[in-house]
């Protein structure tokens, strides 16, 4: 059963989401060639505590960091390391916090400035891929309103992504969120119209399109936490925490 949130609970999550969005903007702006993903993680950790929140991911299932930093072919849950970001890299930044007892979660993919023009094919593909993932999230949010089904949204995301020549990752999904980081339901990025749970006012959900410019199959990364594309293709990931109101969805992580 999908937990429904009161107006008071949604307001707490909106305040937490605003904090999370501010932190994410600062971390995304730091993602430049030469910086390591571990440096981004340390900055995220300091900001979370400075804002009076708690990190959601640290020690969750044994995860050893505050921030997930997933570079190029890593889809999600990349563990920060001493890897220095390079020109043209795309890095998925995923961050969750707990604020006044409630979780919020968001992700963005940042494309680093390109200073080496020896790889035009990679540049073109990655730019289009990042734009497509962001647009897919926008489509999902716009469709989220009472009476729509999760299948309606999943179908729309899949249809758009595949028309752009890409694939949605099928073995990972979005989720409900609230007093727990992961609540019901699971929200797939592929599906059929009319199927799945019917959206109701008070639901708080995380939509998170994950798409690749190759096949949709994934494998576990060597760090034991991340997931990467099985064929080594590029991957992008965007996520917002949204609340369903009586008429439409509102984005809490902005």
* Digit-coded pLDDT (tens) for 156-199: 999 999 999 999 999 999 999 999 999 999 999 999 999 999 99
Instruction: Say if 243 falls within a structural domain.
Output: yes
Instruction: Say if 70 falls within a structural domain.
Output: yes
Q: What is the mean pLDDT of the chain?
A: 95
pLDDT at 215: 97
Instruction: Say if 1 falls within a structural domain.
Output: no
Give residue 47's pLDDT band: very low, low, confident or very high (50, 70, 90): very high
pLDDT at 114: 76
Could you tell me which of 207, 215, 166 has the C-alpha nearest to residue 189?
Answer: 207
The domain in which residue 213 lies consists of 7-251
Q: Radius of gyration of the chain from Cα atoms?
A: 17
pLDDT at 131: 96
Give residue 121's pLDDT band: very low, low, confident or very high (50, 70, 90): very low
Predicted confidence (pLDDT) per residue in 190-220, tens digit:
999 999 999 999 999 999 999 999 999 999 9
HEC string of the chain equals CCCCCCHHHHHHHHHHHHHHHHHHHHHHHHCCCCCEHHHHHHHHHHHHHHCCCEECCCCHHHCCCCEEEEECCEEECCCCCCCECCCCCEEEEEEEEEECCEEEEEEEEEECCCCCCCCHHHHHHHHHHHHHHHHHHHHHHHHCCCCCEHHHHHHHHHHHHHHCCCEECCCCCEEECCCCCCEEEEECCCCCCCCCCECCCCCEEEECCEEECCCCCEEECCCCCCEEECCCCCEEECEEEEEECCCCEEECCC
Is pLDDT at 72 greater than 70 in this prediction?
yes
Instruction: Say if 186 falls within a structural domain.
Output: yes
Predicted confidence (pLDDT) per residue in 98-114, tens digit:
999 999 999 999 999 87
Is pLDDT at 122 greater than 90 in this prediction?
no
Instruction: Say if 2 falls within a structural domain.
Output: no
CA distance 152 to 191: 8
Is pLDDT at 26 greater than 90 in this prediction?
yes
Q: How far is CA 73 from CA 19, 107, 202, 234, 241, in A?
A: 29, 16, 36, 4, 24
pLDDT at 113: 82
CATH of the domain at 77: 3.90.230.10
Could you tell me which of 191, 196, 92 has the C-alpha nearest to residue 134?
Answer: 92
How many structural domains comprise the chain? 1
């Amino acid at each position: 059963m999908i937990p429904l949130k009161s107006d008071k609970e949604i307001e707490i999550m909106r305040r937490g989401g605003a904090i999370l969005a501010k932190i994410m903007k600062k971390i995304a702006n730091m993602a430049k060639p030469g910086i390591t993903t571990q440096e981004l993680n340390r900055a995220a950790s300091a900001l979370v505590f400075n804002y009076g929140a708690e990190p959601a991911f640290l020690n969750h299932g044994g995860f050893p960091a505050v921030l997930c930093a997933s570079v190029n072919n890593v889809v999600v849950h990349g563990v920060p390391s001493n890897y220095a970001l390079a020109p043209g890299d795309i890095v998925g930044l995923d961050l969750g916090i707990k604020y006044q007892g409630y979780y919020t979660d968001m992700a963005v993919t940042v494309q680093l400035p390109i200073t080496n023009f020896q790889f035009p094919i990679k540049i073109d593909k990655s730019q289009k891929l990042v734009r497509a993932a962001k647009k897919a999230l926008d489509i999902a949010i716009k469709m989220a309103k009472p009476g729509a089904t999760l299948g309606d949204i999943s179908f729309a995301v899949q249809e758009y992504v595949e028309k752009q020549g890409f694939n949605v990752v099928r073995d990972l999904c979005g989720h409900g969120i609230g007093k727990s980081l992961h609540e019901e339901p699971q929200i797939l990025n592929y599906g059929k119209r009319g199927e799945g749970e019917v959206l109701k006012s008070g639901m708080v959900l995380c939509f998170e399109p994950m798409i690749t410019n190759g096949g949709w199959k994934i494998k576990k990364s060597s760090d034991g936490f991340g997931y990467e594309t099985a064929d080594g293709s590029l991957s992008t990931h965007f996520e917002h925490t949204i609340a369903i109101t009586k008429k439409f969805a509102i984005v809490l992580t902005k």
